[in-house]
């Protein structure tokens, strides 16, 4: 059995333990355990402790990397990386959103107007895209003062025979003719229903809500009640769940079931 001990110089020495040792002093007990010195080595007697973080030394001979050093740095002293957290100020909104809410144009078109230098805030031209305006600011465009519209939400039980478009080049009836007198603000349909489809249709000028309901990233669920002129069999359900290839992509359905078990023409 070998035991490692360290002298004052710091060089490890291996000595044999167990049995009668040569250099054992007379009268020393045979079962005496080696004692370990608790004296700590200091660079100078007047050395003072500092508040700097210490790095744990590598005991296995590996090189200490920058990643290892960061583990032992105090949390308050760590360097924050990345962009700062956004400040949530509901009173101040981006200028392009302000123009869009006022019904002037879309946000992308508003960016072009801002960069062109035709929009002023409180009498000063603004060309910065990220510029924010407050409700008390005076925004002018094309010689007139712009006021943000109140957000409106209109629900329509769409009948058959109307297409879900703002206008139609063929002169067909659109859903906009049904809600044109619902409010003075200009609203847009959220999503679309086919010409012969009936059901709930939402109109709004709230662009944020429209994005949350229609963008695939938010995964908004839509429920359809379909009535058929012939029975809808179980194999039809399986084929529908597998997906059907259409011109604009493949259909995706989470669940298909009968409205009532004895009504095989309604799903």
Give me the active site residues, please. 194
Please check whether residue 160 is in contact with residue 171, taking contact to mean a CB–CB distance below 8 angstroms.
no
Tokens standing for 176?
């906009």
Residue 154 pairs with which residues in a beta bridge? 203
Secondary structure element (H or E) that encloses residue 144, with its range: strand 144-146
- Taking the alpha carbons of 164, 167, 173, 178 in that order, is the dihedral positive or negative? positive
User: What secondary structure letter does DSSP report for 41?
Assistant: P
Instruction: Write the CA distances from 154 to 161, 189, 203, 260, integer angstroms.
Output: 20, 9, 5, 31
Q: Give the HSE-up count for residue 158: Cα atoms under 13 Å, Cβ half-sphere.
A: 26
Q: From the CB of residue 61, how many other CB atoms can be counted at a distance below 10 Å?
A: 5
């Amino acid at each position: 059995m070998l035991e490692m001990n360290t002298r004052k110089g710091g060089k490890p020495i291996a000595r044999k333990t167990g049995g009668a040792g040569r250099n054992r002093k007379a009268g020393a007990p045979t079962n005496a355990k080696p004692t370990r010195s608790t004296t700590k080595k200091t660079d100078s007697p007047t050395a003072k402790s500092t508040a700097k973080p210490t790095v744990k030394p590598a005991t296995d001979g590996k090189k200490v990397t920058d990643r290892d050093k960061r583990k032992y740095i105090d949390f308050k002293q760590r360097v924050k990386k990345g962009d700062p957290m956004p400040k949530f100020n509901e009173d101040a909104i981006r200028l392009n959103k302000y123009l869009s809410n006022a019904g002037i144009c879309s946000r992308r078109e508003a960016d072009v107007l801002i960069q062109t230098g035709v929009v002023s805030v409180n009498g000063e031209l603004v060309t910065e895209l990220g510029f924010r305006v407050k409700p008390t600011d005076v925004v002018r465009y094309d010689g007139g003062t712009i006021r943000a519209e109140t957000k409106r939400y209109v629900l329509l039980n769409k009948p058959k025979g109307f297409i879900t478009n703002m206008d139609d080049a063929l002169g067909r009836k659109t859903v906009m003719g049904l809600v044109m007198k619902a409010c003075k603000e200009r609203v847009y349909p959220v999503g679309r229903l086919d010409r012969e489809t009936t059901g709930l249709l939402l109109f709004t000028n709230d662009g944020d809500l429209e994005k949350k309901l229609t963008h695939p990233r938010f995964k908004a669920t839509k429920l359809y009640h379909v009535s058929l002129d012939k029975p809808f069999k179980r194999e039809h359900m399986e084929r529908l769940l597998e997906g059907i290839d259409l011109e604009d992509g493949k259909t995706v359905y989470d669940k298909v079931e009968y409205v009532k078990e004895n009504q095989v023409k309604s799903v």
